[in-house]
Amino acid sequence: MKKTRIKLSPASIILWAIVVLAVLLITILALHTEAEPEEIPDEIEPELVRVLTLEPRDLVQTVRLAGQVLPYRSVMLAAEMGGVITEMKTDKGSKVEKGDVLARIDHRHWEAQYRQAAVENRDATRDLDRWQRMADEGAVSQSEFDAVKRRQELAGIALDQAQIQLDKSYVRAPANGLIDDKLLEAGSFVSEGQNVFRFIEPVPMKVTFHIPERDINMVRQGQELSLHTHARNKASPIQARVAFVAQEAPAPTFSYPAELIIDDPPEGLRPGMIVDAEIERAVLDNVLAVPLTAVVPRRGEHIVFRYRDGVAERTVVWIETMLDDQVVIKSGLEPGDIVVVAGQRALQDGVPVKIESSEE
């Protein structure tokens, strides 16, 4: 018997394939039990946030300018005459008072000159007294008396000159202060004008710094400024007054040199330390401002979340300016609004929130 082959068309093949796949899918679904639906929590855990109640306030932008602490006076004390240093009466680090003898230079020659001048002055003064009595009685001529008087005057001048030279053999403290360094020792030969000590007058102290052009109008003579030190960063600011502001800004910095005076330096402040002088750069009156961290940039907008009835409310704000870490709000917020200032990064509009703490 002749076999007959059935030839299937492409459309029939596709139809049968669909049927087979459908049967397989039904079988697989029948072999698995229906999955339990996930439980949806009845309540969403609120996000913890910190908030700030907005009130109009004055906002001040400050800038700190670096300066250096210096003693009120720092000078080198030099010998006024040459010779051998016969005595050192102080050492570095010593406190001294005005007029104290710090060192003595061999002055035997000038001491002899002084004694001689003193004798001549004594004799001339005694002779003048005797001639004065005779002149009063008319026993001597006026010219003779004038010669004696002139001799006494010259003797007095010679005594003063000898005293000056004798004084030059001593190195003395010019004011109350400290000996910051001693450059020579006893027995050294010192030339006229050679430095022997470095002397500082520590109180009051002064601070030198430079003011940029943009801030020069914010500083005036007599103004009180606060100083912050790196060595005393946890201590209270130091108060200083502006004693000098230059009229010209020299090259190459083109900034204005200025000096501050610290009338009552605190303990621990030393010459050479670096300090920051705090000055006001800008003052805005009666503005609404939030911390920079409270503003979230999203898709070209600036977003702030307000706290209202236990939920976060997404609010678009427009910024006027920024001062340090504060953002001045032009529009979008009103006085009395409660703004989220911490924990807002993960918030969405309408999410429940719980106040952890508030910022005043």
Of 28-37, 42-51, 60-69, 215-224, give the lowest mean pLDDT range.
28-37
- Count of Cβ atoms closer than 10 Å to residue 121 Cβ: 20
Looking at every residue in the chain, the average pLDDT score rounds to 85
Q: How far is CA 32 from the centre of its chain?
A: 76
Query: How far is the first Cα of the chain from the last one, in angstroms, to the nearest whole number?
Result: 105
Residue 196 pLDDT greater than 80, yes or no: yes
Q: Residue 5 — very low, low, confident or very high, per pLDDT cuts 50/70/90?
A: very low
Q: Which residues of 219-240 are buried (b: 16+ CB within 10 A; e: fewer)?
A: beeeeebbbebeebeeeeebeb
Residue 101 pLDDT greater than 50, yes or no: yes
Residue 206 pLDDT greater than 80, yes or no: yes
CB 159 within 8 A of CB 118: yes
Q: Which uninterrupted H or E stretch holds 298? A: strand 296-298
Residues 6+ apart with CB under 8 A from 33: none
Q: What sign for the dihedral angle of Cα 138, 140, 142, 148? A: negative
Q: What is the pLDDT of residues 207-236, one digit of tens each?
A: 999 999 989 998 999 999 999 988 776 678
Closest CA to 89 of 169, 162, 163: 169
The pLDDT of residue 146: 87
Q: What is the pLDDT of residues 293-348, one digit of tens each?
A: 888 888 888 988 898 888 888 889 898 888 878 888 898 989 998 888 887 777 88
Q: Which of 240-244, 276-280, 302-306 has the highest mean pLDDT?
A: 240-244
Q: Give the residue with greater pLDDT, 122 vs 360.
A: 122
Q: Which residue has the tokens 């003048």?
A: 128
Q: Give the residue with greater pLDDT, 87 vs 281.
A: 87
The pLDDT of residue 125: 92
The pLDDT of residue 107: 87
Instruction: Transcribe 300-318 into DSSP letters.
Output: TEEEEEEEETTEEEEEEEE
Q: Which residue has the tokens 């002084």?
A: 114
CB 172 within 8 A of CB 99: yes
Radius of gyration for the chain, computed over Cα atoms and rounded to the nearest angstrom:
46
Whole-angstrom distance, CA of residue 284 vs CA of residue 57: 9
The pLDDT of residue 119: 93
DSSP conformation class of 163: H
Q: Which uninterrupted H or E stretch holds 63? A: strand 57-78
Whole-angstrom distance, CA of residue 340 vs CA of residue 1: 93
CB 106 within 8 A of CB 86: yes
The first and second tokens of residue 118, run together, are 């003193």
Q: Which residue has the tokens 């090259």?
A: 251
Helices marked H in the chain — which ranges? 10-31, 108-137, 142-167
Q: What is the pLDDT of residues 139-195, one digit of tens each?
A: 888 888 889 889 999 999 999 999 999 999 999 999 999 999 999 999 999 999 999
The pLDDT of residue 40: 41
Q: Which domains, ranges and CATH numbers included, belong to the chain?
A: 49-60+286-359 (2.40.420.20), 63-71+198-281 (2.40.30.170), 80-105+170-193 (2.40.50.100), 107-168 (1.10.287.470)
Residue 4 pLDDT greater than 50, yes or no: no
For 68, phi and psi rounded to 5 degrees? -125, 135
Orientation of helix 108-137 relative to helix 142-167, angle to 10°: 160
The pLDDT of residue 282: 78
The pLDDT of residue 10: 62
Give the HSE-up count for residue 261: Cα atoms under 13 Å, Cβ half-sphere.
13
DSSP conformation class of 352: B
CB 260 within 8 A of CB 278: no
Q: Give the residue with greater pLDDT, 25 vs 307.
A: 307
What is the mean pLDDT of the segment spanning 28-56? 66
Residue 35 pLDDT greater than 50, yes or no: no
